[in-house]
């Protein structure tokens, strides 16, 4: 008889789980969200992004800067944009002087992304403005801005989630995930990223 108790408990837990609310993606509705441009402009940007930005065969940074400005991005002087960069909406993008955007960086800017002067985003990093509310049945869209202040460095394959500010000259180490604001001149590492030590810059 004692052997049956775990089986009975498992059935009770399973029944409770079945009675809980479930995600229903058929109810998903993001009509509240504005992509900031009309359908024709978004379509034109889609093909421009594929041909000139995501395409790894285009190494010409100056051309990409000019195209971003044409589509409404605010780009400072001396900005470097490497090949295979994916940008959601350039009209939600601001990049300060002499900032670097590395190979295969994905700027998923459903809301405004501000990249300060002399900031660096290394290869394969992801700036993720969009997410979903997992507590809601309809899996509601969440879209919040991201700010990288002057001299900040997002390491290779690192992820910055929406609504965050990466402080001036803060470092998010390679492969780390920022889920809260990063203090200036501080080096962060891990998932979630935690402060490890101060950043000291020498001449």
Mean local confidence (pLDDT), 94-101? 98
Is CATH 2.160.10.10 the right assignment for the domain spanning 35-198? yes
Q: Report the 10 Å Cβ neighbour count for 3.
A: 6
What proportion of the chain, given as a percentage, has pLDDT over 70? 91
Find all residues with CB under 8 Å of 182, minimum gap 6, and list them.
152, 164, 165, 166, 167, 170, 172, 188, 193, 195
Mean local confidence (pLDDT), 124-153? 97
Cα first-last separation, the chain: 76
pTM of the model: 0.89
Helix (H, G, I), strand (E, B) or coil at 62: helix
What proportion of the chain, given as a percentage, has pLDDT over 90? 90
pLDDT, tens only, 139-188 = 999 999 999 999 999 999 999 999 999 999 999 999 999 999 999 999 99
Mean local confidence (pLDDT), 120-143? 96
Q: How far apart are CA 65 and CA 81, in angstroms?
A: 7
> At residue 79, what are phi and psi to the nearest 5 degrees?
-75, 140
Show the tokens assigned to 104. 């295969």
Asked if pLDDT for residue 85 goes beyond 90, the answer is yes
Show the tokens assigned to 12. 């009770």
């Amino acid at each position: 008889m004692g052997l049956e108790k775990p089986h009975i408990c498992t059935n009770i837990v399973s029944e409770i789980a079945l009675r809980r609310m479930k995600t229903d993606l058929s109810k998903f509705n993001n009509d509240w969200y504005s992509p900031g441009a009309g359908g024709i402009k978004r379509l034109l940007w889609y093909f421009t992004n594929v041909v000139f930005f995501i395409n790894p065969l285009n190494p010409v940074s100056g051309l990409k800067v000019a195209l971003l400005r044409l589509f409404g991005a605010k780009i400072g002087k001396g900005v470097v944009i490497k090949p295979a960069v994916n940008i959601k909406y350039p009209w939600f993008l601001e990049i300060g002087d002499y900032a670097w955007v590395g190979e295969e960086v994905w700027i998923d800017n459903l809301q405004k992304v501000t990249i300060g002067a002399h900031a660096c985003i290394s290869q394969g990093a992801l700036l993720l403005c969009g997410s979903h509310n997992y507590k809601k049945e309809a899996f509601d869209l969440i879209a919040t801005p991201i700010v990288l202040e002057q001299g900040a460095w997002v390491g290779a394959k690192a992820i910055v989630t929406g609504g965050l500010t990466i402080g001036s000259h803060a470092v998010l180490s390679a492969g780390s995930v920022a889920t809260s604001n990063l203090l200036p001149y501080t080096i962060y590492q891990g998932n979630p990223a935690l402060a490890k030590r101060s950043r000291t810059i020498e001449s």
